Structure 1
Amino acid sequence: MKRISRTSGFTLIEIMVVVIVIGVIAALIVPNLFDRAGKAKRSVAKQQVGSLETAIQLFQQDYGRFPDTLEELASPPADVEGASPPSIKQKDLIDPWGNPFLYRYPGNNWTFDLLSTGADGQEGGEGENADITNY
């Protein structure tokens, strides 16, 4: 009778246990990674709102009026000679979620309102969808 020699290797049960453990670890880690990405985007949007707010105030000081649109921050007004080059680029007018920042002058809540509509691109919302504003 032939004797079956047992060679080293993993059994199906051992492999399944490892796969389950990896799945549990991934289930715990992946949501945290997505949460951090959302928090990072909100942080970037807050910084962008602050930069745009400063650019709007500088525009008002330089030209004696508030811009009609945010696009005026990226290109100097045609009616002003010797306008200084813009410090804001067109890409700076887009929030981290790919939505344009909203600007209202006169504002409802402040001299001017500036906001990012958050992840959903709609005004209002909670959590990651909440607006990020200058007021």
Structure 2
Amino acid sequence: MKPSALLGVVLLCLSATVLAKPKTGAEWDRCVQNVPEQVFRDSGRFGVDEWVAKHCGATKPLEGGKMAKADCDRLFEIQQECKRFEADNLWSLSNASRGNANSLLAGQKLEQFDQLCQAVGHGKAMPSMPSFSARFCTK
């Protein structure tokens, strides 16, 4: 094999590992912390969300089928905010709370979480932590 072809194969393998999305929650956290400042300056929060989805993955990976306890606790706190502020939905909450929910949940789970926020905000009882955890913090 020619040296230039071998170099090409090595570079391809290295770029695949560098460009691979994070597999663990800790890798995802590090990736999210490395968003280039220029992305925010050029495109604002929407640009940052797009960059994170493209380079890190839209949501933090679950490890062993379970979300980290601190992340699950944060989601539970957000539901408590829904009740405290009598929220109509997630959009009624702060950008930070919405961003946390969006980074930890996706698709159907995010929709269910939003529906629960609305129900709790309109007076429905909060689920217990074990019930909430089983519903939102596992695969």
**Alignment TM-score, normalising by the size of structure 2:** 0.35
| Greater percentage in helix | 2
Find the structure with the greater CA-based Rg: 1
Looking at both structures, which has the greater relative contact order when contacts are Cα pairs under 8 Å and sequence separation is at least 6? Answer: 2
Q: Which has the higher strand share?
A: 1
TM-score, normalising length from structure 1? 0.35
